[in-house]
Structure 1
Amino acid sequence: MPSMFERTSKNITKEIGDKDLRPVESFLSATKIHQFSLLLKRKPRSQFWEQPEDPTEVSLMDILEPISSVPEPVKEGPFLLRDAAVLKLKAGVSVNSGVEVNVSGEATESYDDTLQYQIVTTPFPTWTELQKRKVLDPEPSFLKQCRETGVDLYVVTETVELLNSPVLQETSSGKSSGLFSLSWNTFFKGEGAGEHLKVREKELTLQKGMVMAYKRKQLVFSEEWLG
């Protein structure tokens, strides 16, 4: 079952509808990913298991020759998304193996989120200009370590950033009731009934500026190092 944050990031990504947009999977990663951030992806140990992309503390601007100013990104928005849902499930079961049991249950889950966000992109001319820049000399130790350990590097090219500080709310409740009859022991026969109700409420406050989704390009160090 996804976390509250993961559910929200996937929903906003789906709503935007761009197949290249990737939802941020964790609350902590959302505070670390920014425009030009470098992401690290280790080689998969198995063809059936894909390694996640981990944000680093290093930016693309930290490994390239310095320039007088960083080009301004293009910002689209603000956009507003209200996402609410209620899910109800009913079920019943009957078992007879010496202990006759009839149990029914009902579960309800709901959430209601309101997000204000903007889409931040890097114009194509900016990437053309960045490709002309060289990697720092001597080579940053971060790059050397990545090369020696055989990991892939990606740079964040587009982000979906929060413009408000929404409070994610989630409520779940479960109710079960049942009748049972015990007849397996001739010295004990009986009937019983029971009911159980459980309610759980959760809240999570997100920070303005958090990145909910992103696009990235893989870094390829060659004559044209940005692929």
Structure 2
Amino acid sequence: MPDPDKVNSMFSRIAAKYDLANRALSLGIDTIWRDRLVDEVWLRNPANITDLATGSGDVAFELRKEFDPDIRIDGLDFCEPMLVEARKKQNKAGFTNMSFEVGDCLDLPLEDASTDAVTISFGYRNLGDRHKGLLEMKRILRPENGYLYILEFSQPTKAIRPLYYFYLKTLLPNIAGALTGDVSAYQYLSDSIEAFPPREGITAELERAGFTDIQAIPMTCGMVALHIAKR
């Protein structure tokens, strides 16, 4: 499992250029993945939403655009420099009824059964203890109609796997290093994606944490999956 202190330090170093690198490295496809997550959340009509590992707020802002202004959206992340970037974007856009606060997924500063929807995008694989994180997410979800949405990298189809891993292990760290000045951060990204379980493994983790109605939706030849589970 990743070392939380090292992960925090890494994101602190790249926070200012995180969005630029994301768009460039994914060729903009990451916006399509996030849009699918937002669409799935919208279908279940939550009264409030908690976005974990919110980073610079990409998912939180897309949710804010999609949902009525009276729907509360709170973003939490344990990396303060990433939250600084999110707050800058919020102030520029003028979004209201949302917040960005420090919060650790393994010990969330939230009441039991306090939210209808929990989202976490490309942050689940960075948790120091994924099972503990899932139990915390389950704790804050309301028993009735509480859903968890995990958007995360996955193992692609065999047809594209050689090309995918060539890009991931060879090209991505060097391109990202040129954009952010931090090759090591994106070497970690590459290594963490390669070591992350396939969709079936995440389904098993959700089951072990007591979630039900679990589904996994593969996207872009399996490179990414959206996992949805009921509390």
Decide: shared fold, TM above 0.5: no
Give the structure with the larger helix fraction: 2
Higher relative contact order (CA 8 A, sep 6+): 1
Give the structure with the larger strand fraction: 1
Normalised by the length of structure 1, the TM-score is: 0.24
